[in-house]
C-alpha cells in the first residue's frame, strides 16, 4: 500500500520539490496530495512532474489560515487517511520592528504558527485513532536562534518549536512521530515572497539613522548568505526522505551535515551573551563582505 502524504505550500520551493520527488518515486511508494493556497499556481508543479504521475499525485487547494479549506482538502483524500503530514507553508517578514503594522505581524503568526497548528489539528484525531502517523514540519534555524530584523519571523518559528516539541512528548504514546526539518538558507521563492521593508520605503522615514544603517548591513549580509551559502531544495528533500524512511525518526533534523556553529553556540552557552555578540559580529561588523 502506498503511503499517503499531504504537503502544504506546494506551489513553489521546498514543498514543490518534495511533492515532485515523492510523486516521482521510482518504486511508487507514495500517493502525494500536494496542496496550495492558490490553484492558479499549479502549472509549475505540473510541469515538474510532466503529467506522468496521475496515480501518485493529486493537487488540492488549501489555505492554512482557513479552517474550512483545510477540512475541505482533508475530505478530498480518497484513501480517507494521511500517513505523513508535511506542514511546510510559511512566509517571512523582514524590517525594523517599529514600522511593522499589527496586521502584517498578525498575518505572519496566522500563516506560520496558527496555520501549522490548525493543519495538525485537522489530522490529529484520525492519526491517534489509527495509532500511527508522521508529522513533518519545515523548521528554520531562525526558530532556534534570533536574527535581527526578523523578530516576528523568528517568534513564529520559535513558537513552532515549542508546539511541536510539546506534541512530540504526547504523541509518542500514539506511535505518531513529529519531526522538524531545520533549514538554513534555501534557494526558493522565499526571499521574493517574503514581506520586506525596502530601504526606499516611506515608512523608514520614522526610523532613526543608526537602525537604518544597521538594516542596510543586514540586507547585504542576507543577500550574500543567500548567494553563497544557500542550499538547493533537493538537499532539503533528501533530509525529508531520511526522516520519512527512518523507522524511528528523530525529533530534529538539520539539513547540513554538521549543526551550524551559531545554533550550537546558542545550545551550549545558555546564558545567551556569546550567541548575541557572535551573531552581531557576523552580521554587522563585516566591512569586507
Q: For binding to ligand NAD (CB under 6 A), which residues are involved?
A: 8-9, 11-15, 37, 63-65, 88-91, 111, 115, 138, 140, 183, 185-186, 188-190, 193
Shortest distance (Å) from residue 92 CB to ligand NAD: 6
Q: Quick one: residue 9, left, alpha or beta (phi over 0 = left, psi -120 to 50 = alpha)?
A: left
Residue placing its CB nearer to ligand NAD in the complex, 69 or 211: 69
Strands (DSSP E) contained in the chain are 3-7, 30-36, 57-61, 84-87, 93-94, 133-140, 176-183, 195-196, 252-254
Q: Grid coordinates standing for 187?
A: 534557494
Shortest distance (Å) from residue 117 CB to ligand NAD: 13
Shortest distance (Å) from residue 3 CB to ligand NAD: 21
At residue 50, φ and ψ (nearest 5 deg) are 50, 35
Shortest distance (Å) from residue 115 CB to ligand NAD: 6
At residue 268, φ and ψ (nearest 5 deg) are -90, -20
Choose, from 33, 153, 218, 275, the residue flagged as catalytic: 153
Is the CB of residue 147 less than 8 Å from the CB of residue 154? yes
Residue placing its CB nearer to ligand NAD in the complex, 14 or 178: 14
Respond yes or no: is residue 153 known to be catalytic.
yes
Output the CA angle 211-212-214, nearest 5 degrees.
65
Residue placing its CB nearer to ligand NAD in the complex, 179 or 204: 179
Residue placing its CB nearer to ligand NAD in the complex, 208 or 232: 232
Q: List all residues 6 or more positions away from 286 whose beta carbon is below 8 Å from its beta carbon.
A: 217, 221
> What DSSP string runs through 8-22?
S--SSHHHHHHHHHH
- Enzyme catalytic residues: 153
Amino acid at each position: 500500500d502506498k503511503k499517503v502524504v499531504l504537503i502544504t505550500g506546494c506551489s513553489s520551493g521546498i514543498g514543490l520539490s518534495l511533492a515532485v520527488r515523492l510523486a516521482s518515486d521510482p518504486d511508487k511508494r507514495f500517493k502525494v496530495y500536494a496542496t496550495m493556497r492558490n490553484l492558479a499556481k499549479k502549472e509549475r508543479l505540473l510541469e515538474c512532474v510532466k503529467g506522468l504521475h496521475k496515480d501518485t499525485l493529486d493537487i488540492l487547494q488549501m489555505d492554512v489560515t482557513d479552517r474550512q479549506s483545510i477540512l475541505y482538502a482533508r475530505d478530498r483524500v480518497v484513501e480517507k487517511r494521511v500517513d505523513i503530514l508535511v506542514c511546510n507553508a510559511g512566509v517571512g517578514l523582514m524590517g525594523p520592528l517599529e514600522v511593522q503594522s499589527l496586521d502584517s505581524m498578525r498575518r505572519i503568526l496566522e500563516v506560520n504558527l496558527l496555520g501549522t497548528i490548525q493543519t495538525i489539528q485537522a489530522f490529529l484525531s484520525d492519526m491517534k485513532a489509527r495509532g500511527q502517523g508522521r508529522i513533518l514540519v519545515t523548521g528554520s534555524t531562525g526558530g532556534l536562534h534570533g536574527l535581527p530584523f526578523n523578530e516576528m519571523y523568528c517568534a513564529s518559528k520559535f513558537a513552532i518549536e515549542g508546539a511541536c516539541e510539546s506534541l512530540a512528548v504526547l504523541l509518542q504514546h500514539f506511535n505518531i512521530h513529529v519531526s522538524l526539518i531545520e533549514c538554513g538558507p534555501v534557494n526558493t521563492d522565499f526571499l521574493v515572497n517574503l514581506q520586506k521593508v525596502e530601504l526606499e520605503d516611506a515608512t523608514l522615514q520614522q526610523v532613526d539613522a543608526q537602525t537604518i544603517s544597521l538594516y542596510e548591513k543586514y540586507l547585504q549580509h542576507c543577500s550574500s548568505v543567500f548567494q553563497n551559502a544557500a542550499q538547493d531544495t533537493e538537499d532539503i528533500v533528501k533530509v525529508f526522505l531520511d526522516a520519512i524512511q527512518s523507522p524511528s525518526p528523530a525529533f530534529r533534523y538539520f539539513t547540513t551535515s554538521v549543526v551550524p556553529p551559531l545554533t550550537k553556540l546558542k545550545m551550549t552557552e545558555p546564558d545567551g551573551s556569546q550567541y548575541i555578540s557572535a551573531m552581531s559580529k557576523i552580521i554587522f561588523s563585516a566591512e569586507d563582505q
